[in-house]
Amino acid sequence: MTGELDMTASAEARSDQINAADLISGPRTYTIEKVTEGKATHPFDFHLVESPGKVYRPNTGMRRVIIAGWGPKTEVYHGRRLTLLNEPTVIYAGAEIGGLRVSHMSHLDKPLKTSLAINQKKKVPYIVEPLTEAAPPAEPSPEDRASKAVAWFSAKGVERQHLEAHVGLPIAEWTAAHLSDLTESRESIVSESTGDQS
């Protein structure tokens, strides 16, 4: 008899960013590793400790919420945490297609009360709750990060052996530097692996 299987990972959107489809199983809390410059439509990439290889790209409404809670300078966001959820009532081009919303943020003394534009003419109240922290969040171990990285690459069709060959070491010996290299080289690694398999 086999153990219980979890289909959550298989239902996640295959891209380099967190999407609403990634949170169909429920909200998730992430720790911000760093924020880098993004693209014109989504100018900021939030790199997340718990999701190597994927970034959170807040839309205009959520950027305004984050600024209201933490201020505009992204350098202070390092190590802070937020909870993202899939809000199915988010409207785009006149249709409810769902989208990402921030429901909780660390470093808030009280609920953050702001407003959110749902179209060009209407705004609604929006509240973000403080993310309570009984203890500082534990830094993920290299083993945990390696496991998540392998799972991400596996979903892209990259085998464990290919990753070990790229790093030059077995997974058990990977360091934080090796994991950072994998993250920065993820696109070329996936391309190389696809070429190897064709």
- In 49-175, alpha helices (H): 60-70, 142-155, 160-167
For 21-29, the CB contacts below 8 A with 24+ separation are: 21/86, 22/54, 22/86, 23/84, 23/85, 23/86, 23/100, 24/86, 26/85, 27/83, 27/84, 27/85, 27/86, 27/103, 28/83, 28/84, 29/81, 29/82, 29/83, 29/84, 29/104, 29/131
Backbone angles phi, psi at 193, to 5 degrees: -65, -40
The pLDDT value given to residue 143: 76
Mean pLDDT of the region 165-179: 86
Q: How far apart are the first and last CA of the chain?
A: 35
How would residue 190 be classed by pLDDT, with cut points 50, 70 and 90? confident
The two tokens of residue 3 are: 């153990």
pLDDT at residue 56, as a whole number: 95
Residues of the chain with pLDDT > 90: what percent? 35
Q: Where are the beta strands (DSSP E) in the chain?
A: 28-37, 44-48, 55-56, 81-87, 91-92, 95-96, 99-105, 112-117, 123-130
pLDDT tens sequence across 149-159: 888 888 888 88
CA 77 remoteness from chain centre:
14
pLDDT in tens, 103-117: 999 999 999 999 988
Measure the CA–CA gap between 23 and 8, rounded to whole angstroms.
Answer: 9
Per-residue model confidence (pLDDT) at position 117: 81
Query: What average pLDDT is seen over the chain?
Result: 82
CB atoms within 10 A of CB 6: 9
What pLDDT score does 136 carry? 47
